[in-house]
Amino acid sequence: MPQSHAAYDLLVVGSVNADLVVRVDRRPAAGETVLGSDLEIHPGGKGANQAVAAARLGGGVAFLGRAGTDGNGDLVRDALRGDGVDIGHLVTTSAPTGVALITLGPDGDNSIIVSPGANSRVSADDVASAGALFSAAAVVSLQLEIPLPTVTAAARAAAGAGARVVFNLSPAAEVPDELLAYCDPLVVNEHEAEFLGDPRPEGLLARGPRSVVITRGADGAIVADRSGVTEVPSPRVEVVDTTGAGDAFTGALSLRLARGDDLATAARLAARVGAAAVTRPGAQSSFPSTGDL
């Protein structure tokens, strides 16, 4: 259960990236070259995005991860700090800061290639050295842009400290049953649900998580636990850019769970946040504050 006395609503253990974005009229086929827009560079990374989304909504957020000494590292550190995220455990490393290469089509959908860089150096030792952070957080949010053993160690540390674990299985990968058993909820989109073999809420619950959230873009979300399944609608909006919308949803969901909402109530607010995020360009730049909802 969330700890009402926790110093932080949310601890995010995850990735920071510089998002390199080019807009195109159509994506190139194999061996083809197309012209795109001027390059845009924005702060991103699934972990950082979720931290910023929660902080924009008034959450007390801490971050654990790694960034380089390069200009992209300065970019992501300044962005997190600017939104009030505690980056005392964002470790500086000699590896380059992670980069996401994003191609954005005219319909607002994107294709993304991630070069992990410093994110691949986030380790179980980093988790062990941050024990006080886990004890201070009501919810710990995890994703898979850092090494799987580190994610599992973080989930174990969170459970040991009495924090609730929110795990976004993205990018999709096979994960151990131990990790799934800590999830409350496991958050997946429809493609990630298919990856796990049985995309039905009941099928995902059978894999071991305590609860499940399936995000469905414009169709909202499905939430499920042992008590049943609930469909959560999404507001209808005009889509400009879907980059980071899932992270906005998960960050908002994690914050509301930390504040004591039940899963369906938290998902309803998260769906509004995710919908607001697709109406503006960029990832973190698109995330709403409470006054925007």
pLDDT tens per residue, range 29-83: 999 999 999 999 999 999 999 999 999 999 999 999 999 999 999 999 999 999 9
Q: How many domains does the chain divide into? A: 1
Residue 233 in any domain: the answer is: yes
- 71 contact partners, CB below 8 Å, separation of at least 6: none
E strands in the chain? 8-13, 17-23, 40-44, 61-67, 86-92, 98-104, 110-115, 137-142, 164-168, 183-189, 211-215, 221-225, 228-232
Mean pLDDT of 131-145: 97
Which range, of 77-86, 207-216, 273-282, averages the lowest pLDDT? Answer: 273-282
**pLDDT for position 2:** 45
**pLDDT for position 9:** 97
**pLDDT for position 5:** 60
Residue 290 in any domain: the answer is: no
**pLDDT for position 283:** 85
Whether 107 has a binding-site annotation, put simply, is no
Q: Give the active site residues.
A: 247
Report residue 1's pLDDT band, with 50, 70 and 90 as the boundaries: very low
Q: Which domain holds residue 177?
A: 8-27+36-285
* Cα 276 to Cα 240: distance, rounded to the nearest angstrom: 10
Residue 143 in any domain: the answer is: yes
Whether 280 has a binding-site annotation, put simply, is yes
CATH number at residue 187: 3.40.1190.20
Whether 220 has a binding-site annotation, put simply, is yes
Is the peptide bond prior to 171 cis by the omega test (within 30 degrees of 0)? yes
Residue 291 in any domain: the answer is: no
State residue 150 phi and psi, 5-degree precision: -70, -40
Residue 86 in any domain: the answer is: yes
| pTM of the predicted protein model | 0.92
Task: For residue 239, give both structure tokens.
Answer: 């889509």
Whether 272 has a binding-site annotation, put simply, is no
What is the per-residue DSSP string for 63-100? EEEEE-SSHHHHHHHHHHHHTT-EEEEEEE-SSPPEEE
Whether 250 has a binding-site annotation, put simply, is no
Residue 1 in any domain: the answer is: no
**pLDDT for position 3:** 46
Residue found by looking up tokens 């950082």 in the block: 48
Whether 135 has a binding-site annotation, put simply, is no
